[in-house]
Amino acid sequence: MNGIEVISRVGDAVTDAPLGTIVAEDIERHRGSWTSPAFHGLAVYRLGHWARTAKAPRVLRLLVKILHGLLNVLVIRNVYGMEISPNAIIGRRVLIGHHQSVHIPAYCIIGDGTVLRHNLTIGIVHGDSAAQDVPHIGRDVRIGPGCCLLGPIRIGHGARIGPNCVVMSDVADGATLVPPAPRALKGWQRGAAADPTSP
């Protein structure tokens, strides 16, 4: 498989490396664990993306596409709870810290060295949006658990997005986002209704 070439546009950069090299980097990035579900999700994605973009014999690409379809539905989605479209563009050395409930749609771009956490939704704003209206994420971005990145936005290189953020506008390079701090409801007691006048 080391002879299979992958050519993927990630932001302004172009990755041109053998598929085997990219998968080996994925293993190393996931602490060398062949059994990591997050690595499995990325590896199956790499197969599906290769089958759609590589310059290889049509029959070989068709067989790989069928294999990808089976693994993606039966294992990655139904067992691991991840949805990664083969039509997304994911850079090299991306880490999925925890695999549960990660959604990466078609046309999404994720740059090299980015870290994703669990309960992550990347997608369109509403059902009437075009499929291409999804985020483009730069290099070396850190995204915490529970985040939603929605719409045709750009997340700049090196940005940090804290847990449970809902992001619907562009984020500058190197910026750090955190959600509002939790607040206590005034007059609330366990077993009692909240004060409707509480701000």
pLDDT digits (tens, 9 = 90+) for 80-139: 999 999 999 999 999 999 889 999 999 999 999 999 999 999 999 988 888 899 999 999
pLDDT the model gives residue 2:
36
Q: Kindly report whether the global pTM for this prediction surpasses the value 0.75.
A: yes
d(CA 140, CA 24): 19
Domains of the chain from N-terminus onward: 5-177 (2.160.10.10)
In a 10 Å sphere around its CB, with 0-12 CB exposed, 13-18 middle and 19+ buried, how is residue 21 labelled? middle
Q: Is the pLDDT of residue 74 over 90?
A: yes
Long-range contacts of the stretch 90-95 (C-beta < 8 A, 24+): 90/8, 90/10, 90/42, 90/45, 90/49, 91/8, 91/10, 91/13, 91/15, 91/139, 92/15, 92/17, 92/22, 92/25, 93/25, 93/26, 93/29, 94/26, 94/29, 94/42, 95/29, 95/30, 95/38
Cβ atoms of 15 and 92 within 8 Å: the answer is yes
pLDDT at 4 over 70: no
CA 143 remoteness from chain centre: 9
pLDDT of residue 191: 61
pLDDT at 127: 82
Q: How far is CA 155 from CA 42, 87, 104, 145, 159, in A?
A: 21, 19, 15, 16, 7
Helix axes 19-29, 37-53, angle to 10 degrees: 160
pLDDT, position 18:
86
pLDDT at 155: 95
The sheet carrying 176-177 orders its strands as 95-96, 115-116, 142-143, 160-161, 176-177
CA 199 to chain centre: 36
Pairing of strands 176-177, 160-161: parallel
Contact predicate 117/98, CB 8 Å: yes
